[in-house]
Structure 1
């Protein structure tokens, strides 16, 4: 059975995006900055260790608009080249009822996301990451997420897209890792207690 992890950058007040889907806060040194080299490498290594990435429509659109060719852009650093290659290589499933096709190493699912995620989880294969708060929220409500990874940036944005969805019942978690990164970014990793 695959392990399903929800991992995203999040503001201290719990949002994955500020109002208007603004992600300018997500760098480790404040608004409109890039993550530290150490944090960027952590995300790159995470992508390399993932067997399958699950994307909601908005996150897919953002990632797919940049990473397929990021390594070919002028001034691309070795870290960016490595991340772009890793991102292209990992198989992806995109969940959307509003887009007609996806490209690259991805396939589109337009039907019941929870049923497809449960089916994928039952496979004997490598770990899966889920990205996009709406998609992850559906998986949360269905009790499918095994691990939550919050990369908390020390900024308050006052609203936007919450990391956690409203739940019908409590989910007990066990803290399994904490780590600090430059700029006061804090990684916390929790496993779901079953």
Structure 2
């Protein structure tokens, strides 16, 4: 069976974006890009919620993205992408499909097909899938910043979820990658 991974950048105080949806605090350097490239080569498809999909599609299809992060841009544009949304009517980014209902059934079918899947960002989707017990592994990259306020990583979970630490890696930039597996 394939696995579903959630990958998210957070501040030390557990926010995924600033109070005005700012992401300008993300520490992205060559060492982070090496991690991101390896991660993208290990998966068969990418999952998004609508908001993250729209941000990513708007950036990774640009000449700027291709010039500054060519390997990541190529892989993101090439991989199959799935957007889980009840409101998105059309997906214009190459290799993208939209799933509007039966999310749990669709994800279980993809995992049964031995595909490794990753959710990039998309905290609302991550919270929903965490509640359903569908995420197998969490990659949380803690950035060396305190935002003070913003949107928290996990919102609205109904119960405690136990995880097991797989790896902790410190980057020279001060980022810390924490990899956890779900104890389900």
The answer for the alignment partner of 1:157 in structure 2 is 147
What residue ranges of structure 2 are gaps of 5+ in the alignment? Answer: none
Q: So what's the TM-score if we normalise by structure 2?
A: 0.91
2:43 equivalent in structure 1: 50
2:12 alignment counterpart: 12
Relative to 1, partners in 2 of residues 1:75 and 1:172: Cα closer, same or farther, differing over 3 Å? closer
Structure 1 residues 86-105: aligned runs within 5 Å: 86-103=75-92, 104-105=94-95
Q: Which runs of 5+ in 1 are unaligned?
A: 28-34
Deviations 1:94-125 (A, max 9, x none): 1112221102111011224334323323x222
CA distance in 2, matches of 1:74, 1:94: 21
8 A Cα contact 2:143 2:176, kept in partner: yes
Q: Distance in 2 between matches of 1:5 and 1:12?
A: 21
SS of residue paired to 2:25: helix
Distance in 2 separating the partners of 1:8 and 1:47: 14
What's 1:31 paired with?
A: none
Contact 1:36 1:181 in 2 (8 A): no
In 1, the alpha carbon distance for the partners of 2:66 and 2:44 equals 29
Give the aligned length: 182
Do the aligned residues in 1 keep the contact of 2:21 with 2:150 (CA within 8 Å)?
yes
Query: Structure 1, residues 62-107: CA drift from partner, whole Å, max 9, x if none?
Result: 11001123xx349924xx1111111111111011122211021110
Q: Does 1:189 align with 2:179?
A: yes
Q: Relative to 1, partners in 2 of residues 1:154 and 1:108: Cα closer, same or farther, differing over 3 Å? A: same
Are 1:84 and 2:73 matched, yes or no? yes
How big is the alpha-carbon RMSD for the aligned residues of Structure 1 and Structure 2? 1.7
Q: What is residue 2 of structure 2 aligned with on the other side?
A: 2
TM-aligned CA deviation for residue 173 of structure 1:
1.2
The 1:73/1:23 distance shift into structure 2, 3 A limit, reads closer
Moved more, 130-139 or 107-116: 107-116
Secondary structure of 1:86's counterpart equals helix
- Runs of 4+ aligned structure 1 residues displaced above 6 Å come to none
2:113 to 94, 114, 124: 124
